[in-house]
Amino acid sequence: MSGLAKPLKIALGLIVIAGLIVIPMNFNRYGLFILSQWTVMTIAAMGLNLTLGYAGQVSLAQGAFVGIGAYAAAIMTTHGWPLPAAILVAIVLSFGVGWVLGYPALRVQHHYLAFVTLAFSTLAFLVFRNESWLTGGIYGISNIPRPHVFGIATNKPLPFYYVCLGLLAIVSIAVWWLIRSPWGRAFMALRENPLRAQSLGIDTRRYTLMAFAIGSALGGVAGALYAPLTQYIDPVPFNLSLSLDLLMMVIVGGAGFYFGPFLGAMIAVLLPEWLRFTEGYYLMLYAIAVMGLLIWSPSGILGILDRYMAARRTKAASALRAVAKSRLETAQ
């Protein structure tokens, strides 16, 4: 993305943000629900992108953290607590569990780590389903209230969409800041070459755990938003396929790219809706589209853009070189 001029980038960003605020104003209920869902999934995918894309740790448990956050929010808000408190608890809880889950990452890597997190994901699902004294079991928790923000009730879809969008903005800024901080650089060092990172004095143990815990905490935030969005939760949405879907979003959008999760979530949430006119075929087409994309560009959509920009830069640079050379020749 660095090929664009800075003012152009800022203008583009402002247009997109303005569009996200203005355009949904005349969306119907369902359109707003889908768009709100996009913000929730983007937050969760951003967390996974930190763990996977920046720190290089494969996790198949992000869906479980969305579940933990959702249940924390559902249980607390139905007992009269305000949503911000619930979000805070969801963050702390997911952060803690994520930290503990990070310990296997210190012992095993790559696919083994994926398997541990996969097992955790299914275990979490079993807990959601079976501990009915806490989670309502298969009947779930219903009548989850939506919050009041600055005294305005957000029961209607549009105000709640703005709550989601606001939280997405906060998370986006925090992540933007994080990946530019020394921590973010330490995460990337961890991904690129853990051995060298360690020899440069980076505490790889601590940063691996941190990458897991922060990524998981964002999953918790997404969950805490998901509960009031649907106003009813049961264990089914938080099974393994959510974790796999989130992983797919990150890879399809482009792992390790800041805007990857935004695009990935957009494709995973919106593309099936756009393909709905094909009726029963829409998930099949979605699967084929994902496979085709990954064959074409394993680094996701932003990978294509990145390569295009790099090619253009090389071309521009060689054009400059050619000009310089011809000038040199005419000077002689």
Partner 1 sequence: MSNLFDLLVAGLATGAIYALVAVGFTLLWQTSQTINFAQGEFVMLPAFLMLAAMHAGAPFWLAIILGILLSMILLGLAFKMLLVDPMMRHGVLPLAIATMALAIGIKEAVKQFFSAEASPFPSIVPTGDITVLGHVVSLQSIGVLVVAILAVFGLTTLLNRTSLGHQMQAAAQNPTVARIIGVPVERMILLTFLINAFLVALASLLITPIYLAKFSSGEVLGQAAFIAAIVGGFNQVRGAIAGGLLIGVLDNLAAAYVSTQYRAAVPLIFLIVVILFRPQGLLGRAEERTV
Shortest distance (Å) from residue 322 CB to partner 1: 33
Should residue 288 be labelled a site residue for partner 1 when binding is judged by CB under 8 A? yes
Shortest distance (Å) from residue 39 CB to partner 1: 23
Q: Which of 283, 317, 322, 323 binds partner 1 (CB under 8 A)?
A: 283
As a whole number of angstroms, the distance between CA 5 and CA 14 comes to 15
From residue 39 to residue 58, what is the string marking binding to partner 1 with x (rule CB under 8 A)?
A: -------------------x
As a whole number of angstroms, the distance between CA 90 and CA 111 comes to 28
Q: Which of 193, 232, 298, 310 binds partner 1 (CB under 8 A)?
A: 298
Among 41-49, 151-159, 280-288, 323-331, the segment contacting partner 1 (CB under 8 A): 280-288
From residue 113 to residue 142, what is the string marking binding to partner 1 with x (rule CB under 8 A)?
A: -xxx-xxx-xx--x--xx------------
Among 71-79, 211-219, 282-290, 317-325, the segment contacting partner 1 (CB under 8 A): 282-290
Residues near partner 1 (CB under 8 A) are 58, 104, 107-112, 114-116, 118-120, 122-123, 126, 129-130, 240, 244, 247-248, 251-252, 280-281, 283-284, 286-288, 290-291, 294-295, 298-299
